Structure 1
Amino acid sequence: MGTLSLSDYETVKIPVPWGYISGRWYGNRKERPILAIHGWLDNLGTFDRLIPLLPDYIGVLCIDLPGHGRSSHLPPGVYYSVYDYVFIIPLVMKEYGWSKVSLIGHSLGGVLCFIFAALSPNTVDMIVSLDILLPHRNEVKYMALSIEKQLLEVERQKLGNYTEPPSYTFSQLGKVLAKGSLNSVSPDLAHHLLYRQLKKSKLYPERYYFARDGRVKHYHYIDIDQGLGAEMARRIRKKPYLIIKGSLSPSLSQRSDEALSILAEDNPHFELYEVENGTHHIHLHAAEECASYIVPFIQHHRPPALTSWTLSGKEDGPSLKKPKGFFAWTKKKRSKL
């Protein structure tokens, strides 16, 4: 048994009422894959360093959310929201006729996985969440600014090429993306995200701009408070759930403690690990360590078909270190509740 290859994929376009969802289906295309969902302002390239470390007996379908990467933008006058993004999961399931779904999500993608699992727990058989559980608290000040920015973006899009977004030379783009991610994505890793979200400027031929829909920067956020998060977690209880946190990231905060405790309670299928010195994009800069937790989790909860097993019982997969236990951290956090 080997690992997936970044060059072995099928480009997919999943039809939706406003256009299509763009994606890449890596590896095995004969069985139901794992659906991978990126974070806010990113695209499926965020999984480029993780994909080649995953077992090749199972496929992984990575998609660009609407307005991101190479997926269609929503029509004028329609605004992006978390609710619309959650709806993408059942749309993909319907397209391929899946009755179940296995999910990997980073940041916004991880929030979508949590929400969908709470809404439709019987259809989700496994979740891997990268540096997130509940979303950050939404502030009224941000909501007011978001409305203002949305209106400005609508006017800019009406004017078309005369008001292109800010453009940059190719050498500048890595630094711009690093700054925009609060240095979670270092300039040397930026190319994994840039190749699916750039357009050549028509005003400045030597420059490029970010082609994602400007409206996604100010999408309608959802504030899941601790009480609602706990109730949602109760609907997911005892589900195979793996969470990997970056030690330097604030994204998995104490407001998630109660939901984490509920997910972990009497659940042998719950796992929580921390990547030391890990930023929010842990799967990019610490792909190997993340894979050391994700691969055994996948092998346990989505094992290969019996026909792919060898008589010797030995596999040819990657040599991975045994995941360190992290429940002590979880129990320590619980004592504060």
Structure 2
Amino acid sequence: MGLLSELKLAVPWGHIAVKAWGSQKNPPVLCLHGWLDNANSFDRLIPLLSQDYYYVAMDFGGHGLSSHYNPGLPYYHQNFVSEVRRVATAFKWTRFSLLGHSFGGTVGGMFACIFPELVDKLILLDSTPFLLDSNETENILTYKRRNIEHTLQVEASQKSPRVLSPEEMLQGFLSNNSHVKKECGELLLQRGATKVATGLVLNRDRRISLPENSFEFMSRELFVHSTRSLQANVLLIKAMSGYYDVRRTNDDNKEPVVFMVDTLKTILRERFQFVEVPGNHYVHLNEPHLVAGAINSFLQSQSRMTHSRL
């Protein structure tokens, strides 16, 4: 399935860049990338998926080829959720599915709870629909402060974007993304960096370089309450060697993820499917064939099972 088009959707601060595969006559699937990634995250997966759908992968604001927010306008999780609404409105979708990796899954999950009537299916790739504050409660005020201070520091800085050689850019990217294969890092940088006279500069807005500038944590009580509002069928694909917490130091504690899966299973019942696959956090990009079958089955079938292992 070849790339159909590259589009720029107008928004008050500039544009949201999207790339699309397939026919607009087919049911739409909006693809949401992870934190600091971009729409190229889905380049190797979408060609393996059913051609009966129209796939649109967007760059969140400040990522990829999308415009940066205006100076003085901060990035918050809710802003990214509202961008999904803007894209759906631009395409005049009244019902669509969401496919989200990592941070994109938490954005998609929140959207599906706020606008439950719009979302048919929600597919989470090594992600959960929200982030629990289980390990974060005592830090949340610190994160809010750091968000404000970091944003002000970046806006006050007069430094030009750092220029690196393609080799330096790739090595730096891979050192910060140990789960990404070299060829996949190159693919993400095709959209995530721009050529200048002396090398490459990253496209992304420096204001989103701290996770607390983009993520939002939720209590267990609110997680349960929000899950009850979901009308969508939900597929959660968990990579066996993937991440379990936005703070990697907490990855040994699997209990929050177990709680979230059990809650989804209890509330959604036959509308929830949980699949474990071999691979790491970027399995959809490194080894897309390991997740394509489960996604295709989920998109095309109304029957649900609660747990499987591929």
Question: Normalising by the residue count of structure 1, what TM-score does the alignment of the two structures yield?
Answer: 0.80
SS at match of 1:149: helix
| Contact in 2 for aligned 1:230/1:258 (Cα 8 Å) | no
Q: Where in structure 1 do 4 or more consecutive aligned residues deviate above 4 Å?
A: none
| Contact in 2 for aligned 1:226/1:255 (Cα 8 Å) | no
Return the alpha-carbon distance in structure 2 between the equivalents of residues 328 and 9 of structure 1.
Answer: 34
Mapping for residues 1-337 of structure 1, pairs under 5 Å: 4-5=1-2, 8-133=3-128, 134-135=130-131, 137=133, 138=136, 139-140=139-140, 141-156=142-157, 159=158, 163-181=159-177, 183-201=178-196, 205-218=197-210, 219-236=213-230, 239-251=232-244, 253-265=254-266, 267-276=269-278, 278-300=279-301, 327=307
User: How far has the Cα of 1:112 moved from its partner?
Assistant: 0.9
Deviation by residue 1:199-253 (Cα, 9 ceiling, x = unmatched): 234xxx432121111112232531112221111111116x311111112223364
Deviation by residue 1:151-184 (Cα, 9 ceiling, x = unmatched): 221122xx3xxx2233321112222112222x02
User: How far has the Cα of 1:61 moved from its partner?
Assistant: 0.5
Ranges in structure 1 where 5+ consecutive residues have no aligned partner: 303-322, 330-337
Q: Which has the larger radius of gyration?
A: 1
| Contact in 2 for aligned 1:126/1:301 (Cα 8 Å) | no
Identical columns (%): 28
| Contact in 1 for aligned 2:33/2:103 (Cα 8 Å) | yes
User: How far has the Cα of 1:37 moved from its partner?
Assistant: 0.7
Return the alpha-carbon distance in structure 1 between the equivalents of residues 61 and 181 of structure 2.
Answer: 25
User: How far has the Cα of 1:114 moved from its partner?
Assistant: 0.8
| Contact in 1 for aligned 2:132/2:223 (Cα 8 Å) | no
**Count of residues in correspondence between the two structures:** 292
Instruction: In structure 2, give the amino acid aligned to 1:264.
Output: K
| Contact in 2 for aligned 1:67/1:216 (Cα 8 Å) | yes
Return the alpha-carbon distance in structure 2 between the equivalents of residues 300 and 38 of structure 1.
Answer: 24
Deviation by residue 1:239-288 (Cα, 9 ceiling, x = unmatched): 31111111222336432434322322362232111222x22112111210
Return the alpha-carbon distance in structure 2 between the equivalents of residues 301 and 179 of structure 1.
Answer: 41
SS at match of 1:235: coil
| Contact in 2 for aligned 1:79/1:220 (Cα 8 Å) | no
Higher share of residues assigned strand: 2
SS at match of 1:77: coil
| Contact in 1 for aligned 2:29/2:56 (Cα 8 Å) | yes
Aligned-pair Cα RMSD in Å: 2.3
| Contact in 1 for aligned 2:270/2:306 (Cα 8 Å) | no
Return the alpha-carbon distance in structure 1 between the equivalents of residues 262 and 103 of structure 2.
Answer: 21
| Contact in 2 for aligned 1:34/1:103 (Cα 8 Å) | yes
Ranges in structure 2 where 5+ consecutive residues have no aligned partner: 246-253
SS at match of 1:89: helix
Deviation by residue 1:305-332 (Cα, 9 ceiling, x = unmatched): xxxxxxxxxxxxxxxxxx9x77279xxx
User: How far has the Cα of 1:55 moved from its partner?
Assistant: 1.2
